Amino acid sequence: GAGVSQTPSNKVTEKGKYVELRCDPISGHTALYWYRQSLGQGPEFLIYFQGTGAADDSGLPNDRFFAVRPEGSVSTLKIQRTERGDSAVYLCASSFGGRNEQFFGPGTRLTVL
């Protein structure tokens, strides 16, 4: 079956621009996570959805970051007024239930010039 997919795979933008990153989880997975991974580091938690609601958004670094999951499936991570420090690989993962095996997507590599 299809795994977690993320689009785009690469995004290059200019400082100050707005970007949207999309995640398509595995069908039937109720939990969805967004992480950010910088080179040489482990994934850094951003936000966790259980169904349509954000169960925990404490990892979002500031109010420029926002994520939605309106129908409990696809999720979009939105970043306003991008900064060079936002450059990283953004990973999405889904799981069946909140504390089970996480299936990761291939990630979106965001580069802010």
Partner 1 sequence: GQQVMQIPQYQHVQEGEDFTTYCNSSTTLSNIQWYKQRPGGHPVFLIQLVKSGEVKKQKRLTFQFGEAKKNSSLHITATQTTDVGTYFCAADFNKFYFGSGTKLNVKP
Structure tokens of 24?
């398509």
The span from the CA of 3 to the CA of 14, in Å, is 31
- With binding defined as CB under 8 A, does residue 94 bind partner 1? no
- With binding defined as CB under 8 A, does residue 33 bind partner 1? yes
- With binding defined as CB under 8 A, does residue 56 bind partner 1? yes
- Contact segment (CB under 8 A) with partner 1 among 15-23, 43-51, 64-72, 77-85 equals 43-51
Structure tokens of 91?
């990973």
The span from the CA of 64 to the CA of 3, in Å, is 29
Q: What is the x/- site pattern for partner 1, positions 3-32, by CB under 8 A?
A: ------------------------------
Query: Toward partner 1, which CB reaches closer, 72 or 106?
Result: 106
Structure tokens of 22?
């999309």
- With binding defined as CB under 8 A, does residue 41 bind partner 1? yes
Structure tokens of 15?
């400082």
Query: In sequence order, which residues have a C-beta less than 8 Å from that of residue 18 and are 6 or more positions away?
Result: 78, 79, 80, 81, 82
> Residue 74 gets which letter from DSSP?
-
- With binding defined as CB under 8 A, does residue 1 bind partner 1? no
Q: Which residues bind partner 1 (CB under 8 A)?
A: 33, 35, 40-45, 48, 56, 58-59, 91, 93, 99-107
